[in-house]
């Protein structure tokens, strides 16, 4: 059997920039400012430039990045936050952690992102049937594709809701050349190693164009500090990004635009080869995805594990994101499900399968993935 293909090849990326990473780490060891060293502010500045944000607050994880804006807005018990169920747990988890109520909204079958029409129904249904106060919407850029921000922004404006973009998978994705912050009040992202822009540990960032909000986030990041860390003006957390990770991210951000282009070349090849055999992702021409995952929808739900096994035997790894939507998970079964059921989320969880995707996937390797999938089907 030929060597197994990498699902995400972080080693190839590291080989490309290893000299710069080593030098950046050495510089950090020499100055010794492990917490909030100069690389943190330097990285925040560079990221803001990349994503069109006047303020960037780096933090310890994508999970904290989603939670901290909700804290800054005072989201609490009795508040409702609308979010998809077909997403990673962190999206809804932080809402529940603050004592508020995640209200699950269905997604669209094609984009796999929040369905604006379902959101609208969810908001109306809540105002009829519940004492919960609608406060915010969390839209997720699933698999690297931007949610339908123009439509969701309009709905949020109509109902006085805040809009948080969970771009843990979608940093760099654009609609009509604009990043999600063009529409969202705030954007949260993650630098978990396997995300499109990953560090070598945990990390995250919050992007906003609201300086007052950013100041609150900076306070929350260090135990709710006021004048200094021993002056506590609110309940916060220890949510800082390590200087070490910022130093690494500065180097990785430099090649990120090129990596996004490479991911799009890979995606284009997949779409051409697989468009007739599975439901391959199809983007409107005004959108650019960062392809955190290349996720196809299989024609038959019950053959998925057999297909995965057959591909694995050919050295081709696959993954399922997500096998169980959040509203079907034990930890979330008490929370409201808009309309009583989420048929699209349920259906997707049975047919989705993600293929190897990274900027360094060689054409010959990709051809093996394509052949293995066709043979397995
Ligand atoms: C990964 C992820 C998060 C959480 O990021 P961490 O850095 O792992 O805490 C949140 N939301 C989504 C959609 C994610 O994919």
Rg (CA), the chain: 21
The answer to whether the CB of 87 is under 6 A from ligand 1 is yes
Token pair belonging to 265? 């070349």
At 3, the pLDDT band (50, 70, 90 cuts) reads: confident
Residue 275 has pLDDT above 80, yes or no: yes
Give residue 166 CA to ligand 1 midpoint distance, Å.
Answer: 8
Token pair belonging to 244? 């070490």
| Among protein residues, the one whose CA lies closest to atom 7 of ligand 1 | 62
Phi and psi for 312 in degrees, rounded to 5? -60, -40
| Among protein residues, the one whose CA lies closest to atom 14 of ligand 1 | 168
Which residue out of 190, 197, 241, 290 has the highest number of ligand 1 atoms within 8 Å of its CB and is therefore the one to mutate?
A: 190
The answer to whether the CB of 101 is under 6 A from ligand 1 is no
| Among protein residues, the one whose CA lies closest to atom 5 of ligand 1 | 62
pLDDT tens sequence across 172-191: 999 999 999 999 999 999 99
Determine the angle formed by the axes of helices 10-31 and 243-274, rounding to 10 degrees.
170
Q: Which ligand 1 atom is the nearest neighbour of the CA of 140?
A: 13
- The residue-averaged pLDDT of 14-19 equals 97
Which residue out of 88, 93, 144 has the highest number of ligand 1 atoms within 8 Å of its CB and is therefore the one to mutate?
A: 88
In order of 221, 225, 227, 237, the CA distances from 230 in angstroms are: 14, 7, 8, 13
Q: Which ligand 1 atom is the nearest neighbour of the CA of 90?
A: 10
Give residue 204 CA to ligand 1 midpoint distance, Å.
Answer: 9
pLDDT tens sequence across 277-309: 999 999 999 999 999 999 999 998 899 999 999
pLDDT tens sequence across 39-61: 999 999 999 999 999 999 999 99
- The residue-averaged pLDDT of 194-212 equals 98
| Among protein residues, the one whose CA lies closest to atom 10 of ligand 1 | 90
Neighbouring C-beta atoms of residue 362, cutoff 10 Å: 12
């Amino acid at each position: 059997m030929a060597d197994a293909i990498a699902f995400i090849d972080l080693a190839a990326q590291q080989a490309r920039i290893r000299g710069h990473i080593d030098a950046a780490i050495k510089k950090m060891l020499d100055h010794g400012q492990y917490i909030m060293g100069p690389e943190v502010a330097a990285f925040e500045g560079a990221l803001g430039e990349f994503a069109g944000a006047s303020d960037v607050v780096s933090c310890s994880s994508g999970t904290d990045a989603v939670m901290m804006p909700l804290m800054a807005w005072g989201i609490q018990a009795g508040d409702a936050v609308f979010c998809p169920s077909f997403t990673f747990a962190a999206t809804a988890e932080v809402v529940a952690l603050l004592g508020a109520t995640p209200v699950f909204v269905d997604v669209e079958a094609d984009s796999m992102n929040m369905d604006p029409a379902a959101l609208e129904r969810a908001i109306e249904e809540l105002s009829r049937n519940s004492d919960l106060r609608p406060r915010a919407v969390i839209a997720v850029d699933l698999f690297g594709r931007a949610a339908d921000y123009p439509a969701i922004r309009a709905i949020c404006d109509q109902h006085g809701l805040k809009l948080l973009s969970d771009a843990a998978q979608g940093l760099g994705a654009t609609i009509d050349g604009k990043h999600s912050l063009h529409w969202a009040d705030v954007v949260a992202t993650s630098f978990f190693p396997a995300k499109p822009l990953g560090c070598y540990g945990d990390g995250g960032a919050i992007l906003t164009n609201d300086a007052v909000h950013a100041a609150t986030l900076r306070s929350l990041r260090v135990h709710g500090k006021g004048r200094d860390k021993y002056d506590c003006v609110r309940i916060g957390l220890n949510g800082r990004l390590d200087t070490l990770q910022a130093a690494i991210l500065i180097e990785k951000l430099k090649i990120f635009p090129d990596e996004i282009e490479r991911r799009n070349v890979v995606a284009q090849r997949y779409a051409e080869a697989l468009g007739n055999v599975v439901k391959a992702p199809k983007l409107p021409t005004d959108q650019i995805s960062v392809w955190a995952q290349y996720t196809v929808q299989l024609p038959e739900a019950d053959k998925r594990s057999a297909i995965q096994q057959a591909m694995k035997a050919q050295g081709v790894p696959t993954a399922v994101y997500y096998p169980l939507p959040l509203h079907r998970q034990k930890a979330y079964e008490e929370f409201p499900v808009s309309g009583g059921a989420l048929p699209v989320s349920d259906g997707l969880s049975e047919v989705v399968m993600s293929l190897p995707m990274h900027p360094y996937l060689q054409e010959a390797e990709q051809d093996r993935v394509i052949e293995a999938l066709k043979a397995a089907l």
